[in-house]
Amino acid sequence: MNDNQPIIKMTNISRTYRTDTIETAALSEVDISITAGEFVSISGPSGCGKSTLLSILGLLDQPTSGSYWLNGQDTRALSPHAAASLRNRQLGFVFQSFNLIGDLSVEENVELPLRYRGSTAEYRLRRVREALDRVDILHRARHYPSQLSGGQQQRVAVARAIAGDPILLLADEPTGNLDSASGDSVTRLLEELHDAGATIVMVTHDPRYARAAGRQIELLDGKIVGTANQPMRTKHIQDSQGYQSNP
C-alpha cells in the first residue's frame, strides 16, 4: 500500500433497507477518506446512520451502492469468506456491550481471535500478554468477565481488539454502558493508543468523547452534515479527580 493512499476510501456510499412495503435510507451518498494514524469520531442523533456506517466500515454489512476501498483493496470484490478473513486480520472491534464470553478467562477472551487465525500458541501467548499489559489489565488475566467492573471489561475488549495488530480500530459507543469515570478512562486509553500510532474510528453520542478525536464527522438522516478538524488535538477527558489529562 502506498503511504499516501488512505486506509479508508468511501465514495457515494448508500445503504437502503427494504421490506415489502417500506424502503428506508440509512445512509445516502456518504464520502469518507481516512489516512493512517487518524482518530476520527462519528456522531449524531439516534437513527442517523452511525452504526450502519460502522458496520460497513467493519465489513459486517455491505452498501447498497457506492465503493469502499480498505487498505487499497476494493471490498466489493470480496467473497464472504475473503471479507471474514480480512476482517479478522486487519480490523479490531470494540463494542458497547463488551461482547466478552463469560465462561472464558480474560486471557482466553483476548486470545480467541488469534486462534481463528491459526497462530501458534507461543505467538498467541506473547500477543495476549502484550495487549493486556498495554491496557493495564494484565494482573486480571486469569479472572473472568463477571469478576471485573464495566470499565475493566471494556479494557479487556480493547486488548482483544489490538492483540492482532490491526490496521484499523473500530469502536462502537465504547463508553455507552459505562459510568462517567470509566468512560473517561476508556477514552483516555483510546487517546493513548492513537498517540502511539493507531488509526481509530469511534462512534459516540457524547460530544465530550467526540472532541477527543482529531476529526469529528456529524451525521444526520444518513448524510454527513458537518466535519470539524482539530490539528493540535489535546486531551479533553478529565480524570476522576477533575484534573485534565496531560497533552
CA distances from 148 to 100, 105, 128, 136, 187 (A): 11, 11, 18, 13, 18
To which residue does cell 486471557 refer?
Answer: 107
In eight-state DSSP terms, residue 58 is T
Give, for all 247 residues of the chain, the pLDDT tens digit: 455 679 999 999 999 998 888 898 999 999 999 999 999 999 999 889 999 999 999 999 999 999 999 999 999 989 999 999 999 999 999 999 999 999 999 999 999 999 988 889 999 999 999 999 999 999 999 999 999 999 999 999 999 999 999 999 999 999 999 999 999 999 999 999 999 999 999 999 888 899 899 999 999 999 999 888 865 444 444 443 333 333 3
pTM of the predicted model, to two decimals? 0.87
CATH number for the domain running over 8-229? 3.40.50.300
